[in-house]
Chain A
């Protein structure tokens, strides 16, 4: 299992066209040795999940830059569970909310929604790569209860 190249799905969720940061992130993740399925801008939540199912992805990294992240991501984990992706790692990053809100609150809101990590604006790519290494290794330690 650990010999297999890890697969990540990336994209910008909802009616959001801000692609540049997401593209840089995707390239950096590829350079870090991951197989990246980059869905690009304007990606509906359902498309992340369909792509993850077909490619047996290990993680989904959702970008949202236009302040509608909370609306777009509502029920994302539930959709994953519905599609049989119970154990998939979910990250989210960008300008997640509108206006000045304290990050710990915002972060908690998204963690409560079922995301494993939330990244505020200015998060370094190296940080994300370190998170992935850590979280994926932790998952590899556990037996997969549902992956037949």
Chain B
């Protein structure tokens, strides 16, 4: 009997299972059930297990049963910082890196209106930052006091000026406060790992229970992290490798979903051209961005707004009026899947636009500044032009008849020379939606997780003849 692992994703729509043969590094099978967190999580879990059993026969004794969750609205977070581009931005990045779904970001002194808004948002966790260590403490203390007096019930992760931390924790009152290292201990130094770890700990200790996921406890060992964090861990493992197995090196992953498009990158992002001056907040090597306005279903209208109806229609070879009719149909029924050729063409145009904008926003850009001594090039964000691998996942991309045409939208474009998108990466498809599973499995058996991912990512790039060398 081989050692097996069961990886569970309690998603927002589906409960997904992947059963893995750890010794052979292969997928035994997948199972899927509805997401039933709102009522009784066990209903969906049992349906998924039954589905899995139908596919692979009697279920083995699993050595590991690890879960991630994005159910019940995901890990809903609000972040608060001081200056919008500095500690507020650092807090935002920490939350996104922890796999959160950001429902609100605030900067400077919280007003009464802000507090009312935060209470109404009812986040799962609030991340409070502000001030460098030894820097400003007035604003974080003001904000801690305002939150302390409010009806906000959720735990607060406190990651601001350490000189103000004790007082801020007191002002926050009776609610649970987890203090950790400042997200910006020194000016323009980003330090988000401690906050990420603190958020994850609160997630495991509190949120899993609060959302009722632990009612399925008999069927799993542990919920390790929010699903987006599991994907990020999978991507990190795939890029960096582990002891004994080398990874793919710098890479980018794009995941167009129904409501948002996520982009993850693992790369330093330093300028690739000599003489270019980086500006702004340093970028995290492992970075996740979420485009809340780019989604195939819930945000199809927003994608069209960003790209323009004419362009979407032209890309789908549809008359604009016809595209409008089909878009209205999507808006009325966001669970619909494309059936006709026209609908598939529209979906292809939507996913191409989503990938294009999401990757462009994730990647940095350069601009030329004219100085007295001549032109100087400055870079904002990450230079990902040299990234060696781009991975695509997500239903709309995986089910596309021409995945290559979608993934090409992630690449550098000579029409937009200032955008630092990947130039000549190999293109891979995560067809099995395996990266969350690898992220979870990586926590216990990194080598098996990595080799599993390497064996199952499918080359899209037909121009690379030695795609099989991937597994080497």
- Residues of chain A touching chain B, judged by Cβ–Cβ distance below 8 Å, are 4-5, 7, 15-17, 35, 37, 41-42, 50-51, 53-57, 66-68, 147-148
Assess whether B86 is in contact with A42, with CB atoms less than 8 Å apart: no
Assess whether B138 is in contact with A16, with CB atoms less than 8 Å apart: no
- For the complex, would chain B's binding face be called helix, strand, loop or mixed by DSSP majority? loop
Assess whether A55 is in contact with B187, with CB atoms less than 8 Å apart: yes
Question: Please, which residue of chain A has its CB at the minimum distance from the CB of B187?
Answer: A37
How near does chain A come to B28, taking the closest CB pair, in angstroms?
52
Q: Which of B16-66 contact A (CB under 8 A)?
A: none
Assess whether B138 is in contact with A147, with CB atoms less than 8 Å apart: yes
B85 an interface residue at 8 Å Cβ cutoff? yes
Assess whether B372 is in contact with A55, with CB atoms less than 8 Å apart: no
B1 an interface residue at 8 Å Cβ cutoff? no
- For the complex, would chain A's binding face be called helix, strand, loop or mixed by DSSP majority? loop
Assess whether B83 is in contact with A5, with CB atoms less than 8 Å apart: no
- Residues of chain B touching chain A, judged by Cβ–Cβ distance below 8 Å, are 82-83, 85-87, 131-132, 134-138, 141-142, 184, 187-188, 277, 279, 369-373, 376, 378
Tell whether A15 pairs with B83 under 8 Å between CB atoms, given A35-B134, A42-B279, A56-B136: no
Assess whether A68 is in contact with B372, with CB atoms less than 8 Å apart: yes
B142 CB contact (under 8 Å) in A17, A57, A148:
A148
Q: A147 CA to B369 CA in the complex, in Å?
A: 37
* B contact residues around A5 at 8 Å (CB): 134
Assess whether A7 is in contact with B371, with CB atoms less than 8 Å apart: no
Q: Give me 9 other A-B pairs in contact (C-beta within 8 A), A42-B378, A57-B135 excluded.
A: A35-B134, A42-B279, A51-B188, A53-B83, A54-B135, A55-B131, A56-B135, A66-B372, A68-B372
Assess whether A16 is in contact with B135, with CB atoms less than 8 Å apart: no
A17 CB contact (under 8 Å) in B86, B134, B371:
B371
Assess whether A66 is in contact with B371, with CB atoms less than 8 Å apart: yes
Assess whether A17 is in contact with B187, with CB atoms less than 8 Å apart: no
How many residue-residue contacts, CB under 8 A, span A and B? 64
Tell whether A42 pairs with B369 under 8 Å between CB atoms, given A7-B134, A50-B86, A54-B82: yes
Q: A55 CA to B161 CA in the complex, in Å?
A: 9
* A contact residues around B184 at 8 Å (CB): 54
Greatest chain B CB density within 10 A among A16, A35, A55, A67 is at A55
Question: Please, which residue of chain A has its CB at the minimum distance from the CB of B277?
Answer: A42
B187 CB contact (under 8 Å) in A54, A66, A147:
A54
Assess whether A55 is in contact with B135, with CB atoms less than 8 Å apart: yes
Q: A7 CA to B133 CA in the complex, in Å?
A: 12
* A contact residues around B372 at 8 Å (CB): 15-16, 66-68
Tell whether A15 pairs with B371 under 8 Å between CB atoms, given A37-B187, A54-B82: yes
Question: Please, which residue of chain A has its CB at the minimum distance from the CB of B161?
Answer: A56
Question: Please, which residue of chain B has its CB at the minimum distance from the CB of A66?
Answer: B372
Assess whether B371 is in contact with A54, with CB atoms less than 8 Å apart: no
Tell whether A56 pairs with B131 under 8 Å between CB atoms, given A15-B370, A37-B187: yes
Greatest chain A CB density within 10 A among B138, B142, B371 is at B371
Tell whether A54 pairs with B134 under 8 Å between CB atoms, given A15-B371, A17-B371, A42-B369: no
Q: A55 CA to B83 CA in the complex, in Å?
A: 10
* A contact residues around B373 at 8 Å (CB): 17, 66
Tell whether A55 pairs with B136 under 8 Å between CB atoms, given A37-B187, A42-B277, A50-B85: yes
Assess whether A50 is in contact with B83, with CB atoms less than 8 Å apart: yes
Question: Please, which residue of chain A has its CB at the minimum distance from the CB of B84?
Answer: A50
Tell whether A7 pairs with B376 under 8 Å between CB atoms, given A15-B370, A42-B369: no
Assess whether B136 is in contact with A54, with CB atoms less than 8 Å apart: yes
* A contact residues around B134 at 8 Å (CB): 4-5, 7, 35, 55-56
Tell whether A54 pairs with B132 under 8 Å between CB atoms, given A17-B371, A148-B138: yes
Tell whether A54 pairs with B86 under 8 Å between CB atoms, given A35-B134, A147-B138: yes
How near does chain A come to B215, taking the closest CB pair, in angstroms?
44
Question: Please, which residue of chain B has its CB at the minimum distance from the CB of A65?
Answer: B372
Q: A132 CA to B352 CA in the complex, in Å?
A: 57
Greatest chain A CB density within 10 A among B82, B188, B369 is at B188
How near does chain A come to B136, taking the closest CB pair, in angstroms?
4
Across the A-B interface, give the 4 residue pairs with the lowest CB-CB distance, nearest first: A55-B135, A66-B372, A56-B136, A15-B371
Q: A17 CA to B141 CA in the complex, in Å?
A: 38
* A contact residues around B370 at 8 Å (CB): 15
Assess whether B82 is in contact with A51, with CB atoms less than 8 Å apart: no
* B contact residues around A54 at 8 Å (CB): 82-83, 86-87, 131-132, 135-136, 184, 187
* A contact residues around B376 at 8 Å (CB): 15, 17, 42
Q: A53 CA to B140 CA in the complex, in Å?
A: 12
A selection of 27 A-B contacts at a CB cut-off of 8 Å is A5-B134, A15-B369, A15-B370, A15-B371, A15-B372, A16-B371, A16-B372, A35-B134, A37-B187, A42-B277, A42-B279, A42-B376, A50-B83, A51-B86, A53-B82, A54-B87, A54-B131, A54-B132, A54-B135, A54-B136, A54-B184, A54-B187, A55-B132, A55-B135, A55-B136, A56-B135, A66-B371
How near does chain A come to B147, taking the closest CB pair, in angstroms?
17
* B contact residues around A37 at 8 Å (CB): 187
Q: A65 CA to B371 CA in the complex, in Å?
A: 11
Assess whether A51 is in contact with B187, with CB atoms less than 8 Å apart: yes
Assess whether A56 is in contact with B187, with CB atoms less than 8 Å apart: no
* A contact residues around B131 at 8 Å (CB): 54-56
* A contact residues around B279 at 8 Å (CB): 42
How near does chain B come to A74, taking the closest CB pair, in angstroms?
18
